[in-house]
Structure 1
Amino acid sequence: MGWLIGLGILIFLFILFVAFVGYKMVKPPRLVEDWTPRDFGFEYEDVEFTTEDGLKLSGWWIDNGSEKTVIPLHGYTRSRWDDVYMKPVIEFLLVEGYNVLAFDFRAHGRSEGKYTTVGDRELLDIKAAIGWLKENHPERAGKIALVGFSMGAIVTIRSLAEIEEVCCGVADSPPMDLDKTGARGLRYFANLPEWLYIFVKPFTKLFSGGREFHPLKYSDRIRKPLLLIAGEKDPLVMVDEVREFYERNRKINPDVELWVTDAPHVRTLKFHPEDWKAKVEEFLRKWMA
C-alpha cells in the first residue's frame, strides 16, 4: 500500500512540474531596454493600438517620408528592443528609406497580454498594427512588407496568406513543425529532455488558450513574394523542414526564395550582416517597387 501512495505522490509532483514548465513556456520574460530609434538619428513616436480581442500593444512609429512601410516582427521571448536582430534591422530599414512600425507582440515587451500563443493569436497583433497604420497614416501604407524572425517569421508567413495589405515578406528561421521546435526548445531554453514536451504541450494550450496550427500547411496558400532564410547550425529549426515548405510552395508560387546559411537560429544577420542586408535589400526593392 505504501508504494502506491509513494507512486501517487511522484505522479502528482510530475504533473505539477510539467504544468509549471508549460506555464513558463507561455509566459516569457519581458525584454525592455532603453535604446530607441533616436540612437540611429531618427525621430520616432510612441504608439499604441488595440487588437480584436482587446489587448493594447505598444510600439514605435518612425515616419521616413515614404509611401512604403516595413514592419519587423520579433521572436519568442524577445521584443522590439532585441539587439541581436531587431536593432540592426530597424536601423537598416530606416537607412534604406522605409518607414518602420516596430511593436511588441502580446505578452512581450511593453504590450499587454498574460500569455503568448507563439504565432496563433499574434496574427491579431499584426492585423491591429496594419489597421493602425492605415487609419493614422494612409499615405504611408501604399506598400506594406513584413520582416519576421522565428515566431515573427511564422506570423509573416500566415500574414501573406491571410492579410490582403501585406505585399511581401521575409521569414528568417521560421519554425515549420511547432511540436518538433517546441520539444527542441525545452532543451534549448531550459536544458530539459525533449521527450518531456508531450506532457508539457497540453498545459501550454490550457494556459494560453492558443489554437494548434501547422505552418507547413500555409505552403499551399501563399502566392505572394516570400524570402525564406534558414541556418544550418540552427538548433530549433531544421533546414530540411524549411526546405520542405519551400518545395511545396514553389509549385504554386514562382516568387518564393530560399536562402540557406551556416548560421544558428536568427543569427544570419549577426554573423553575415552585409550578405543579409544585400539579400533583403534586393528582395524588398524588387517587390515594393
Structure 2
Amino acid sequence: MPGRVLVLLVTLSLGYFGVGLLVVLWMTSPRRKSPEATPASVGLGYTEVELRSTDGVRLSAWWVPVEGSSQAAVLIPGWGGYKFDEHLLQTVPVYHDAGYGVLLLDLRAQGESGGARRTLGYREVRDLRGALAWLQRQGYALDQVVLHGWSMGGATALRAAPGTGVAAVVEEAGYADLPLLLKGKIPEFVRFGGILEPAILLAGRLFPDFDPWDVVPKKEAATLADEGVPLFIIHSIEDDIVPYEQASILAAAYPEASLWKLQGYGHVEAYEHPEYAQRLRAFLDASR
C-alpha cells in the first residue's frame, strides 16, 4: 500500500509540473506575423534591415533615417507585439521630428524575426544589445541613442541599458518585477491558475536558458539611477494588463525618474493622449 501511495504521489506531482510546463510553452511560443503597416503609413521613408542578436538570432527591423543626424532611437514592442504596432508607428514621427533616426525592432520569435521562444524579457536583452551593436556599426555613438520600449519591451530596455552608456530610456507600461506580475496575472490567464501558479513558475525556472525570477527590472532601474541615465516612466492607472503598481515600484527604485501617471487609458495607449508627443519631446530635449 505505501508503495502505491508513493507512485500515486509521484504521478500527481509529475502531472502537476507537466501542466505548468505546458503553460510555459504556451507563454513562450513564437508569434509570427507579416506587417500590416509600415513607417510609410505615417508618411516616412524606411529601409528593411536584418541584424543579429548577440547570441546569433536573426532579427527583422525597419530603419527610418534622418539625414545628417547623429542621434537614434530604438523602439521595442511588447510580448506578442510587432514593429508595426500602431503605438510604435505613431511614435516614430515624434522622434523623427526631433532629429532621431529610428530603428523599429521585431524581438525574437515575434513578427518576422527568427528564434524559437519568447522569454518575457530574459533572452530579449540580447536582441536589444544586438540592435545597439548594429547602430554602432552605422556610426552612432551609444550616448546618442535612446531606448524606448512598451510592456515587455520596456522591461527589456531597462534590463539592457545599464553599462551601455545610452542617452536615455523611455519605459511605457512595463513591469518592474516579473515574478510579482505573474503571480497576480496567472489566475486571470489560466483556469485554476491560482492552484497552478507554483508549478508554472517552477517550470519557467527550469526551462532551458530562461529564468523568469531573474527578470526584475527594478534592479536595473536602480543601476540606471546610479549611472545618471535619464528615465521616463509612462503608465496608466487603468492598465489592466500590467498594473500601475509596477510603475510605482520602478519609481521607488529610481526616485529621480520622470513619471507620467495617466488616467483613462488602457495598456500601451498613452500615444492617444493629446499631450503625448509634447511630453515625450520635452523629455528628449531635457536628456540631450
Q: Same fold (TM over 0.5)?
A: yes
Counterpart of 2:18 in structure 1 is 16
Distance 1:200 1:189, change over 3 A: same
SS at structure 2 position matched to 1:229: strand
SS at structure 2 position matched to 1:221: helix
Residues 101-125 of structure 1: per-residue CA shift (max 9 Å, x gap): 1111111111111112222221111
Q: How does 1:1-289 map to 2 (within 5 A)?
A: 11-65=13-67, 66-83=69-86, 85-135=87-137, 137-138=138-139, 143-164=144-165, 166-190=166-190, 193-211=193-211, 212-213=213-214, 214-222=216-224, 223-250=228-255, 254=256, 256-262=257-263, 263-270=265-272, 272=273, 274-288=274-288
Residues 80-137 of structure 1: per-residue CA shift (max 9 Å, x gap): 1222x222122433344421111111111111111122222211111111111111x2
Residues 254-288 of structure 1: per-residue CA shift (max 9 Å, x gap): 4x111111233222223x2x222221111012213
CA positional deviation for 1:167: 0.5
Look up the equivalent residue of 1:158 and give its one-letter code: R
CA positional deviation for 1:139: 5.4
Distance of 1:161 and 1:140 partners within structure 2: 15
Which runs of 5 or more structure 2 residues have no equivalent in the other structure?
A: none
| 8 Å CA contact retained: 2:143, 2:167 | no
Distance of 2:195 and 2:34 partners within structure 1: 32
SS at structure 1 position matched to 2:280: helix
Look up the equivalent residue of 1:53 and give its one-letter code: D
Aligned residues: 279
| 8 Å CA contact retained: 2:236, 2:262 | yes
CA positional deviation for 1:189: 4.3
CA positional deviation for 1:187: 4.2
Distance 1:157 1:41, change over 3 A: same
Residues 221-277 of structure 1: per-residue CA shift (max 9 Å, x gap): 112110111221223433333223313322xxx4x111111233222223x2x2222
Distance of 2:187 and 2:279 partners within structure 1: 32
Deviates more, 1:52-61 or 1:203-212: 203-212
Distance 1:109 1:168, change over 3 A: same
| 8 Å CA contact retained: 1:69, 1:140 | no
| 8 Å CA contact retained: 1:160, 1:167 | no
Distance 1:275 1:28, change over 3 A: farther
Distance 1:190 1:30, change over 3 A: farther
CA positional deviation for 1:170: 0.7
Distance 1:287 1:192, change over 3 A: farther
Distance 1:141 1:15, change over 3 A: closer
SS at structure 2 position matched to 1:77: coil
Distance of 2:236 and 2:191 partners within structure 1: 21
Distance of 2:127 and 2:175 partners within structure 1: 19
| 8 Å CA contact retained: 2:62, 2:103 | yes
CA RMSD in angstroms, aligned pairs only: 2.6
SS at structure 2 position matched to 1:133: helix
CA positional deviation for 1:26: 1.3
Which runs of 5 or more structure 1 residues have no equivalent in the other structure?
A: none
Look up the equivalent residue of 2:81 and give its one-letter code: R
Distance 1:244 1:146, change over 3 A: same
Distance of 1:11 and 1:205 partners within structure 2: 17
SS at structure 1 position matched to 2:207: helix
Distance 1:177 1:139, change over 3 A: closer
Look up the equivalent residue of 1:45 and give its one-letter code: T
CA positional deviation for 1:140: 7.9
| 8 Å CA contact retained: 2:73, 2:103 | yes
CA positional deviation for 1:73: 0.8
SS at structure 2 position matched to 1:260: strand
